[in-house]
Structure 1
Amino acid sequence: MNEAISLEAVSKVYGKGRGAVAALREVSVGLPEGGFTAIMGPSGSGKSTFLHCAAGLDRPSSGRVRLGGTDLAELSETKLTELRRERAGFVFQAFNLVSSLTVAQNITLPLRLAGKRADARRLAAIVERVGLTERTGHRPGQLSGGQQQRVAIARALIADPEVIFADEPTGALDTMTAREVLGLLRETVDALGQTIVMVTHDPVAASYADAVLFLADGRVVDTMTGPTAAGVADRMIRLGAWAK
């Protein structure tokens, strides 16, 4: 199976001298195309740094990150911005919608920023997939939290990205709504072959993934395929005790 993302001996250090903090330490891992991978670990384990480096939102201190066949270290900031806009999609806990824009305008915003026009049929298909056909003219303030996150997922899908990066996508949602959103993410993998990398602290959320990477002290210390909520919770308990 081809790798959508690969990290080769990636380290990330913040600060210098005695105040330096190593957020990632020599991480090497490949994430498969069309897979759903969850990233978990105790607080301070390097989860968000892993996601930011993999997505090109932050540059590693050493090592290489490749998206498809592209070495991100070789790209200028302008080219890196273009890559994120055209080849990656993002879903965050805070939704990050523009309050003055309608649902349809929020979804197509990445295309507009890239100077492209949205294909009407593709937009309609994505809106239908996320269950917002009757809400395209609404603004974010007129939607529930779950509906806003569905808009964010549709926005991530509109440019047909190689990878969607999700950072705690259900962190601001109630349990029932969170499961609906997770089911939608799972569906995009199963029905569309989308690749998803998701940081989460929730074992239930991780159970929707194909595999879980566990981080501690900036290193990948364990993996689990076919995760269950109970199995992930048990592993996290043991990791938390080990980290202490």
Structure 2
Amino acid sequence: MSGDWAVELHGVRKRYGRGGSAVHALRGIDLTLPRRSFTAVMGPSGSGKSTFLQCAAGLDRPSAGTVRLGGTEITGMKENKLTALRRTRLGFVFQAFNLLPSLTVEQNVVLPMRLAGRRPDRRRAAEVLAQVGLADKARRRPGQLSGGQQQRVAIARALVTRPDVVFADEPTGALDTTTAAEILSLLRQAVDTQDATVVMVTHDPSAAAWADRVLFLADGEIVDHLERASAERIAARMTALTARPAFERAAA
């Protein structure tokens, strides 16, 4: 049943432009991701990773195919309903923390609730801030926090509405190795202890190793995957994939 899946993509294609100059960013993605799973998406530059995430999260519309989130088809959804769905049922964590500097940490965390027209739940905000180790920083401004602490706030903001799926785009790209591991541990905990579903785009094999499953994109297609793999094994697979010419990948 569709309700058993957090994310479903069926025949998803994305084309930019027309005719001979058209760019085919996605070439027919068929994918189902179970609830309470952590999936990493990797691939060479230009492989379609960002387009995949944008289409899967309803930030961009595919040229063909269907996308379902938590059993709800979003492909033909009107923009106002899609916006409401993103605010209430999805969470986002990006490389840039995207916090509003004029707001306190708590106010940033409850912002999705305000944007959805709901009364901010300060108790829930305190709960998720405690989960990310920032219980004592609720009244601080983002500028008073380290980069790692700001990303923790972003994770708390992503989790505050108990979303169906958290989409993370290079969430550790701007962080040092130690801080990155702390952030990835929080995402892992969200899956293991809070029943979250995480889909993360990353270029870092060490980050991907935290996931249950790693998908490899090349030339707009899913060409390989690994289950619960080490960083070394993921890096080796990426190296092999990047070294193969495009026509060989297409034939595989």
- How would you bin the TM-score normalised by the shorter chain? over 0.9
- Aligned to 1:73, the other structure's residue is in SS state coil
**Structure 1: any 5+ residue segments left out of the alignment?**
none
Shift of 1:121: 2.3
Counterpart of 1:125 in structure 2 is: 127
Which residue, 207, 224, 228 being the options, matches 1:222? 224
Counterpart of 2:52 in structure 1 is: 50
Counterpart of 2:76 in structure 1 is: 74
Aligned partners of 1:168, 1:149: CA distance in 2, in Å? 11
Q: Which amino acid aligns with 2:65?
A: G
Q: CA RMSD in A?
A: 1.0
User: For the Cα contact (< 8 Å) 1:216–1:243, is it kept in 2?
Assistant: no
Aligned partners of 2:121, 2:80: CA distance in 1, in Å? 25
- Aligned to 2:109, the other structure's residue is in SS state helix
Q: Which amino acid aligns with 1:14?
A: Y
2:144 counterpart of 1:142 = yes
Shift of 1:243: 4.2
2:247 counterpart of 1:242 = no
Q: Deviations over 1:156-185 (max 9, x none)?
A: 011110000000000000111000000111
- Aligned to 1:4, the other structure's residue is in SS state strand
Counterpart of 1:64 in structure 2 is: 66
Cα 1:148–1:243 shift into 2, 3 Å: farther
Normalised by the size of structure 1, how large is the TM-score?
0.98
Q: Deviations over 1:106-164 (max 9, x none)?
A: 00001011111122322211110011111111111111000000000000011110000
Alignment of 1:145-156 (within 5 A): 145-156=147-158
Counterpart of 2:112 in structure 1 is: 110
- Percent identity reads 62
Task: Count matched residues.
Answer: 244
Counterpart of 1:167 in structure 2 is: 169
Moved over 6 A (4+): none
Cα 1:118–1:243 shift into 2, 3 Å: farther
Counterpart of 1:207 in structure 2 is: 209
User: For the Cα contact (< 8 Å) 2:5–2:34, is it kept in 1?
Assistant: yes
Which residue, 71, 83, 86 being the options, matches 1:84? 86
Normalised by the size of structure 2, how large is the TM-score?
0.95
User: For the Cα contact (< 8 Å) 2:6–2:34, is it kept in 1?
Assistant: yes
Cα 1:40–1:243 shift into 2, 3 Å: farther
Q: Which amino acid aligns with 1:200?
A: T
Aligned partners of 1:186, 1:73: CA distance in 2, in Å? 29
User: For the Cα contact (< 8 Å) 1:72–1:80, is it kept in 2?
Assistant: yes
* Structure 1 stretch displaced more, 198-207 or 65-74: 65-74
Aligned partners of 2:27, 2:37: CA distance in 1, in Å? 24
**Structure 2: any 5+ residue segments left out of the alignment?**
247-252
